[in-house]
Amino acid sequence: MARYFVDYNHASQANTILWTNEKLKITETEPFIDYIRCDFDGEDYKYLHHDKKDFEDVKIINFEAVPGDEADTFLLCYVASMEIDLDKYPDFKKALDFSSKLVEVVIGFKYKEEILQYCFEEHENRQAELQEDS
């Protein structure tokens, strides 16, 4: 098991979402990493999932939902750090080789420890390098 991180800490590198929850503000919620996807072969993706415990000891550092140019859009700026045993996921490891270690981290949101369903739409996803933390 090794520690890795993904850096989306600058607005120019951040994913953009459209917040669709009408009852809660994004600032009232807690972000978590829902899953990580990686291009396997130009057509298919391989995934690591939060609910399957494919990664552990997750830390989201300096999270900020920066208001975007359009109504209810936000740039999600943060650094994500997690432990992954890539030897358990050989297809994901192959996808990392194919994609030059570029992944997309998809954030979910919780309110009072409950996962919110359908609270946002992915607007623009950006890839970032999955880097080993030394």
**pLDDT tens digit sequence for 91-101:** 999 999 999 99
Structural contact between residues 77 and 66, judged by C-beta atoms closer than 8 angstroms: yes
Q: What is the mean pLDDT of residues 29-33?
A: 97
Give the pLDDT confidence score for residue 7 in this predicted structure: 96
The span from the CA of 93 to the CA of 46, in Å, is 9
State pTM to two decimals.
Answer: 0.91
Hey, what's the torsion of the CAs at 76, 82, 86, 91, to 10 degrees? -20
The span from the CA of 112 to the CA of 63, in Å, is 18
Residue 110 tokens read as 């919780």
Q: What is the mean pLDDT of residues 9-16?
A: 91
Structural contact between residues 29 and 110, judged by C-beta atoms closer than 8 angstroms: yes
Residue 22 tokens read as 């009408």
Q: How many CA atoms lie within 13 A of 56 on its CB side?
A: 5
Per domain, the residue ranges of the chain are: 2-132
Residue 6 has pLDDT above 80, yes or no: yes
Q: What is the mean pLDDT of residues 126-133?
A: 95
Average pLDDT, the chain: 95
The span from the CA of 111 to the CA of 106, in Å, is 17
Residue 57 has pLDDT above 90, yes or no: yes
Tell whether the torsion through CA atoms of 76, 79, 85 and 91 is positive or negative.
positive
pLDDT digits (tens, 9 = 90+) for 58-108: 999 999 999 999 999 999 999 999 999 999 999 999 999 999 999 999 999
Q: What is the mean pLDDT of residues 51-59?
A: 95
